[in-house]
Amino acid sequence: MADVAFIGLGNMGGPMATNLIKAGHSVVVFDLSQAACDQLQEAGASVASTAAEAASGMDYVISMLPAGKHVATTYLGDDGLLSRLDVTTTVLDCSTIDAATARKVGEEAADRGIGFMDAPVSGGVAAAAAGTLAFMCGGDAVTFEKARLILQDMGKNIFHAGPSGSGQVAKGCNNMLLAIHMIGTSEALEMGARNGLDPKVLSEIMLASSGRNWSLEVYNPYPGVMPTAPASNDYKPGFMVDLMVKDLGLAMEIAQQCKVDNAMGQLASTLYNQHQQAGCGQQDFSSILRKLQD
């Protein structure tokens, strides 16, 4: 069992830290939300008053933060965590951020001899709670093996995508594709419904045909088709439109940097931004169906 600092206890970080406690690790947490810290304390964690206090003397430091600027502030500079840690600590940043910041933190960690991986996740809140997340890791092979020892207690699928920043690139590619096939699935189901087809029957037809995809099979966007999907619970997230807009923005940055003409990704980004601006940011991303219906 390991000594773990967990920084950032939001909708994803809280359940992830809880699973580490359940696995028998000694966990020290820090978050700006006292309520979030209190909840983890009830689950068995110790609470630190600062991120630096949480990270002191730990085997692992894991962070789940909102954006690249928060990751940079936490780790870089004279007051950043990297200046306070030694080579015995492995750092895993599970935030979804821009690849450039992930690479910068990775380079600084390498210069100090500290193992670092950007390890963004896929699967959403339900997978975070169930401990079935997918981790997409960027960093060197030695650090990946250390990371896998702790990530396996929070996830089911753990991938080494490549060097620092690769985890963020993989996440951007995945979520761009997710947005595209959710929109396509919604369009197909709405087109069928307007022609008198039962969306449930049409879903069964497409699941047995070449149109089969994750959005159709696991996260059906049409209300009433799949009782466990957010669509059947008034599109309560799940994975919010606000988060999809953020991830698509990061994917657009990646595409521009490598000069890929990602026309479908750009269109998906435009549609989700419009949906957000219409006041739907707090709804599940599968609510893009409502935009088509409106």
Catalytic annotation on 156?
no
- Its sign, for the CA torsion 9, 12, 15, 21, is negative
* Sequence-distant (≥ 6) Cβ neighbours of residue 219 within 8 angstroms: 182, 226, 229, 230, 286
Residue type, 208: A
What is the DSSP annotation of 177-230? HHHHHHHHHHHHHHHHHHTT--HHHHHHHHHTSTT--HHHHTS--STTT-TTSG
Contact between 237 and 247 (Cβ < 8 Å): no
**DSSP state letter for 277:** I
Among 22, 69, 104, 171, the active-site one is 171
Length of the chain: 294
Cα angle 251, 166, 132; round to 5: 85
Residue type, 121: V
Tokens of 273: 């931004």
Residue with tokens 């026309």: 263
Report helix, strand or coil for 71: helix
Give dist(CA 240, CA 124) in Å, integer.
Answer: 10
Catalytic residues: 171
